[in-house]
Structures are given as structure tokens and as C-alpha cells.
Amino acid sequence: MLEIFSYSFMVNAFIVGILIAICCALLGVVLVLKRYSMIGDGLSHVGFGALSVAAVLNLSTPLYLALPVVIVAAYILLRITEKGRVNADSAIAIISSSALAIGVFVASINGTNIDLQQYMFGSILAVDKSDIIISVILTVVVLAVYVLFYNKIFAVTFDESFAKATGVRTSLYSIAVSVLTAVTVVVGMRMLGTLLISALIIFPSLTCMRVCKRFKTVVICSVIISVLCVVLGLFTSFYFDNIPVGATIVIYNLIGFLIFTVLGLILKLKKKH
């Protein structure tokens, strides 16, 4: 079993996968509770468009283009929804579908041989040293934000109006979460793909909410579930040929969600009796 760690690309995948799993879980709890869960899906499509353009331009490091583009998209998306000009679902749908169309159009019209399937469904081989560096920095920042501003994040997540009334700069925290989500999506989509990275943001928190009722418990549980699914997905993808890692990780998340849903129902029945 340990032979998997003799391959450098698998070691890179485990490092990035576990770090991204932690970030997705922590950010996912906030996004799901604030009903911004589909923002990850929208931003991943923007990332796909940016990566396609970067590939056409033959950029050696596509992340240098994708990161700023997705961060700007996250900021614009947040501002549009905050001002109420367009509701969140509509704004995400407009931006994500447009970005996805641009990505496919640019790749097709240029005639460049771009592996769009790798971008859409991810690849273990796509992970490199730059992904590791960004993942480490990102995880440190996300953990620092959670530890230092836990109470304010809790307040903004559950009652933004009350938090604003008590002097908390709610817009600043919303921007921080959006930017961190954007970076997480760009790094994570290289391994999981644009179509599946949002699942790692949504599933762990929703899974744990089936059983856990306290915010702190949901956060801790989400991190554990997220990391476990990524590790299982990587092992499965390595030992069974032709199984995409992204799809495998999402399937494990789905299994976890179903198990926790059943456990939640059992616990409810026990309380009634």
C-alpha cells in the first residue's frame, strides 16, 4: 500500500488534495449557511475559461492568469448580489455559463490541442510544485482567519444584520471569504476539475449538518469528512486504472452524505421515543 508514496506526483496530489480539502471544508460551512453554496460552481467555470485562454497563449504557469481573473469574478459576483441588482442564483448562472462558453470557444476557434477533459474532470498529473506552494499559503491563511476571527465569522454567518449593528465590517469578511474561495477553487480544479470542485465545498458541510447541530462541531466534522474522502479517492484512483480522481472523491462524499442522512433520521426517531 505504501508504494503509492514512491511516486512524486502522488505525493504532490496528496499534499495539495488534503490542504484543499481543509480549505473547502472550512469555507464551505460559511458558504452553505449563507446560501452561497453554488458560488464554487460558478467560479470553477470562470477558472476553466481563464485556464483555456492561458493554454491558448502558451503560458507556462496558467495559474498566473486564472487566479486574478477568478478573484475579480468573485468580487464582482459578491457586489452584484449585495446591491440586489441580480439575485445570487441568477448572477452565478450568468457568470458561470458565460465563462464556460468563452473557454470552449477560445480553445476551439484557435485550433490549439488543449485537453479540455483534463480541465473539466481534473488530473493527478496536473498538480505541480506551484500548486503545493499556493496550497500551503492558502491553508495557513484560511486557518489563521478562522482562528483569529472565529467569533466574528460566526456572527456574520448566522445574523449579518446583527453583526453589522454591533460594528462588525461584514462586507470585509464577505470579501475575504469570496477571495479565499476563488483561490481554493482555482488550485483545487486542477486536480478535481471544474465540474467537480464545487462538490468538495458543498458536500462535507451538508453531510455533517445531518447529524451535528453546533457550528464548531460542523466545522470540525466537515474537515474530517473532506480529508477522508480525498484520501480515499486518491487511493482508489491510483489502484484502479481509468478511474478519475475527481469523480471518485465526489462519490465518496455522496456515500458519506447518505450515511449521515440515515444516522440523522435514526437519531431523530430515538429522540421522539
- For the chain, give the mean pLDDT: 84
Phi, psi of 87 (to 5 degrees): -70, 160
- Global pTM value: 0.87
Name the class of domain 2-272: mainly alpha
Domains of the chain by residue range: 2-272
**C-alpha angle 174-175-177 in degrees, rounded to nearest 5:** 65
Window from 57-71, 107-121, 185-199 with minimum mean pLDDT? 107-121
Q: Which residues contact 175 (CB under 8 A, 6 or more apart)?
A: 75, 78
Identify the pLDDT of residue 255.
96
Identify the pLDDT of residue 25.
93
Where does the pLDDT of residue 188 fall: very low under 50, low under 70, confident under 90, or very high at 90 and above?
Answer: confident
Please measure the distance between the N-terminal and C-terminal CA atoms of the chain and give it in whole angstroms.
45
Say which residue, 175 or 206, is predicted with more confidence.
Answer: 206
- Averaged pLDDT for residues 52-74: 83
- Are the C-beta atoms of 75 and 179 separated by less than 8 Å? yes
Identify the pLDDT of residue 111.
60
For residues 200 and 22, give the distance between their C-alpha atoms in angstroms, rounded to a whole number.
10
- Are the C-beta atoms of 227 and 200 separated by less than 8 Å? no
Where does the pLDDT of residue 219 fall: very low under 50, low under 70, confident under 90, or very high at 90 and above?
Answer: very high
pLDDT in tens, 7-42: 888 888 899 899 999 999 999 998 888 877 778 888
- Comparing CA positions, the residue from 258, 197, 164 lying closest to residue 28 is 197
